[in-house]
Structure 1
Amino acid sequence: MRDDIEAVLDQMAEKLRSRLPDDAAIIGIYTGGVWVAEALQRRLDLETEAGQVDISFYRDDFTRIGLHPQVRASHIPFDVDNRHILLVDDVLHTGRTIRAALNEIFDYGRPAQITLAVLVDRDGRELPIQADVVGMYQPLQSGEQIKLTGPEPLRLEIRQQQGADSPA
């Protein structure tokens, strides 16, 4: 795994520059996605304040995986209607977090387009969701999970999953 997250973020920003119109706005998914979105926002010089979404009320698998979410308020400080949105998350695994984030965003309006950028794409997709821009691909062994810590500095760690038979 690459240790230099800053270089990965630089590469992601370079790929995104050609994809984003001038009026694009960025939304990060709590918490790791917000950290990555803030780092990309600085690199892309986007004028609009970054938004953050909490997908807790939209998850369909919390009871199955035994998580008890800490709910935060979503904050989208711009009009979503007809806007190009850059949706950012730290790790794309099953696709359920992205599906939940899309539901939350559509509660605010109907974007013209959504581009998905993720720092890490790992195996285990359960829904037909793929990122438009990926920082790195990281296949994991059974029982492993990847965790972004931060926000300063951002670091990726591979950890043994508690209850290794349940997906993250």
Structure 2
Amino acid sequence: MNLPNPEVLYARLRDQIAKAFPDRSELGLIGVHSGGAWIAERLHRDLNFTLPCGFLDSAFYRDDFSERGLKQDPKPAEVPFDVNGRQILLVDDVLYTGRTTRAIVNHLFDFGRPSKIELAVLLDRGGRELPIDAQYVGKHEPLNPNQAFVLTLDDQGAFQLGLEEN
């Protein structure tokens, strides 16, 4: 399989968000650790968001926590703005079953009640188990259930995309 260029996908995603949100002065941007956090940080910088960028980890909010356990140490939540009544853009690297997004939304509600939540992802690989969809997508790229996209950052901060077999 030829993997898509993640920098091209990022540019597509960035342009969709810039067009959808010409005024980003009150938009809350929250990245999902870890790949989504990297993407959110770059979006925050490239699109000049006014509010500081937030970050959430889904580890303790997942409905499959008892099966998955902790894959890594959870990162602390950082939501440096008032969530109540605010439009929120969640950013993640790959959308698959929808369970991470559901967990992040549950976690977000610990901080208040947003007026609206939308989702931006670099890759939508299909295979949804929950009725969750992204409004902004770099690319739809179906994968077999035994495969997974892995986003990393190189030493210069450029996105790299790999494929793992489970």
Task: Confirm or deny a common fold (TM above 0.5).
Answer: yes
| Letter in structure 2 aligned against 1:157 | G
Q: CA deviation at 1:67?
A: 4.5
Residue 80 (structure 1) aligned with residue 74 (structure 2):
no
Distance in 1 of aligned mates of 2:145 and 2:71: 23
Distance in 1 of aligned mates of 2:56 and 2:76: 7
Q: CA deviation at 1:8?
A: 1.8
- Residues matched between the structures, number: 160
- For the residue of structure 1 that corresponds to 2:134, the secondary structure is coil
| Letter in structure 2 aligned against 1:76 | V
Partner of 1:133: 136
Partner of 2:73: 70
Distance in 2 of aligned mates of 1:96 and 1:127: 7
Partner of 1:164: none
- For the residue of structure 2 that corresponds to 1:18, the secondary structure is helix
TM-score, normalised with respect to structure 1 = 0.88
Distance in 1 of aligned mates of 2:136 and 2:35: 16
- For the residue of structure 2 that corresponds to 1:107, the secondary structure is coil
Partner of 2:158: 153
Aligned sequence identity (%)? 42
Unpaired runs of 5+ residues, structure 1, are 162-168
Distance in 1 of aligned mates of 2:90 and 2:81: 14
Q: Aligned Cα RMSD in Å?
A: 1.5
- For the residue of structure 1 that corresponds to 2:78, the secondary structure is coil
| Letter in structure 2 aligned against 1:28 | G
| Letter in structure 2 aligned against 1:107 | D
Q: 1:158 to 1:34 in 2, by over 3 A?
A: same
Q: 1:55 to 1:66 in 2, by over 3 A?
A: closer
Residue 55 (structure 1) aligned with residue 24 (structure 2):
no
